[in-house]
Amino acid sequence: MLKKKGIESLPEKWDYCAFEKGAQLRVKRSFYYHHGIFTGDSVIHFGEGNEERDLHSPNQNKVSECTLQEFLKGGVPEVRVYSRKEKKLLKNPDEIVKTAKEHLGEGGYDFYRNNCEHFSNLCAFGTAYCKQTL
């Protein structure tokens, strides 16, 4: 029997383009991409700030909200561009932001199992996954 492929098996496309409320953003750091959800005037993300000091410490990192400039730290934002298949699974922008806000203050960060990319995909699709750590 064939295993049904989930959202995590689909290829991703990222681009440098305009974005709106509910967009998944990422910005290049030294050796990884940091991910977040754009709320319309801020970004909700998991871990950054403490993440660069100790990538493996689950107790330091929490879901938090910051300005776009704080999130970017001088970097350039990339925006997730969804395929037709992804759009069928994608929540609407208000739901994405609502989900992100519901997780504010949560911890449990784990570089391999519960990081910023897992969080971003959970908000957008309802499924936590990370292609950087597969």
CATH number at residue 84: 3.90.1720.10
Report yes or no on 103 lying in a domain: yes
Report yes or no on 24 lying in a domain: yes
Report yes or no on 134 lying in a domain: no
Report yes or no on 1 lying in a domain: no
SS3 content of the chain, % helix, strand, coil (to 5): 25, 20, 55
Report yes or no on 133 lying in a domain: no
Give the pLDDT of residue 59.
55
Report yes or no on 18 lying in a domain: yes
Report yes or no on 100 lying in a domain: yes
The residue segments making up the domain with residue 28 are 12-125
Give the pLDDT of residue 48.
63
Q: Where are the beta strands (DSSP E) in the chain?
A: 13-15, 24-28, 33-38, 43-46, 63-66, 78-81
pTM reported for the whole predicted model: 0.89
Q: Which residues of the chain have pLDDT under 70?
A: 1-4, 48-60, 134
Report yes or no on 75 lying in a domain: yes
Q: How many domains does the chain have?
A: 1
